[in-house]
Amino acid sequence: MGILEKIAEIEREIARTQKNKATEYHLGLLKAKLAKYRSQLLEPSKKGEKGEGFDVLKSGDARVALIGFPSVGKSTMLSTLTKTESEAANYEFTTLTCIPGVIEYQGANIQLLDLPGIIEGAAQGKGRGRQVIAVARTADLVLMMLDATKPNVHRELLERELESVGIRLNKRKPNIYFKQKKGGGLSFNSTCSLSRCNEKMVQTILHSFKIFNAEVLFREDCTEDEFIDVVTANRVYLPCLYVYNKIDQISIEEVDRLARQPHSIVVSCNMKLNLDYMLEALWEALQLIRVYTKKPGAPPDFDDGLILRKGVSVEHVCHAIHRTLAAQFKYALVWGTSTKYSPQRVGISHVMADEDVIQVVKK
């Protein structure tokens, strides 16, 4: 019995088991087994056996993966936003490999990957699905392309495919401390009242992973699924934007309904509608900021800014300029919204904001 059959068998059993107090531990055990088999499916079976993937070099300041069913307008989107031409036609599976393009926006180079269309069962490897999903795991953000003229079931199907291979969309990492130990049994604590998981459930799940000595601390009320995510430790938490294409073919009321859903954007690639707002939302979701440098006695260099992530400190800026600069750092002068007055003399741990100007003074 192969892994795929085992997964199908467990999924069937979960579907036919009623959820109540008597069966919750049995369901927890099944979910843990399912997670174990799925992570086996993701990893290559033999040591040294190289997986067949799309070989795309990571470049630019951020990486965005375009995911969607065949023929929803992914290639048209890539050709419209970037200088790269991706073949687009009105039949399915026009794109058969991964085509990278670069969006130049506000001085940043954002790598956009046009991936082949996903079909149902992609997580099991149908239609090059596993390679597509492997590339999506390395991205900083997922752009899920959906057809506004088709029912919303497509979105749920894609979410389920990505969920089953350990990609969690628009979710935070569960606040659970988990550490395996050499001995001493299971130590279980929580800093809040738990309503969705308890010690017996945690013990059942850990036993199915053959873990008998561990330290577990729940800092928030999590479900058993979230605890399994923490134990397997191969989950990727990515922001996701749902882009509804072909809005020129539906009514304005339907466009309004789609646009009001969380993390959703409505566009039309053919008529180039709303693409500027989509780029703005993309910039916000990637949490990128621009920091400009300034030499003493000279105006700031606004042409060549540093593209960094939100929440970076002066130390990160120093490393971005040159790796030896942080060791010789004395203080920095900062102009911008992160300071109380301009210029403010700051230390190495000062947190930068978007469009700040910095002048570093060495020892």
Q: pLDDT band for 178, please (50, 70, 90 cuts).
A: very high
Backbone φ, ψ for residue 36 (5° rounding): -65, -45
The token pair at 120 is 């149902």
Residues 6+ apart with CB under 8 A from 48: none
- The pLDDT of residue 132 is 72
- The pLDDT of residue 107 is 84
pLDDT, tens digit (0-9, with 9 covering 90-100), for 36-62? 887 777 665 555 445 555 667 777 888
Helix ranges (H only) for the chain are 3-16, 24-42, 74-81, 129-137, 153-164, 199-208, 224-232, 252-259, 275-286, 314-321
Beta bridge partners of 358: 293, 334
Q: Mean pLDDT lowest for which of 46-55, 223-232, 249-258, 335-344?
A: 46-55
Beta bridge partners of 70: none
Of the spans 55-59, 116-120, 175-179, which averages the highest pLDDT?
175-179
Q: pLDDT band for 246, please (50, 70, 90 cuts).
A: confident
pLDDT, tens digit (0-9, with 9 covering 90-100), for 310-338? 889 999 999 988 888 889 889 999 999 98
Average per-residue pLDDT for the chain = 84
pLDDT beyond 70 at 90: no
- High-pLDDT (> 90) share of the chain, %: 16
Please, what are the domains in the chain? 62-86+96-170+236-285 (3.40.50.300), 175-221 (no CATH), 289-362 (3.10.20.30)
Span 236-263, average pLDDT: 89
- High-pLDDT (> 70) share of the chain, %: 89
148: nearest Cα among 68, 75, 71, 254: 254
- The pLDDT of residue 125 is 55
pLDDT beyond 70 at 291: yes
pLDDT, tens digit (0-9, with 9 covering 90-100), for 18-31? 888 888 888 888 88
- The pLDDT of residue 87 is 65
Span 91-111, average pLDDT: 77
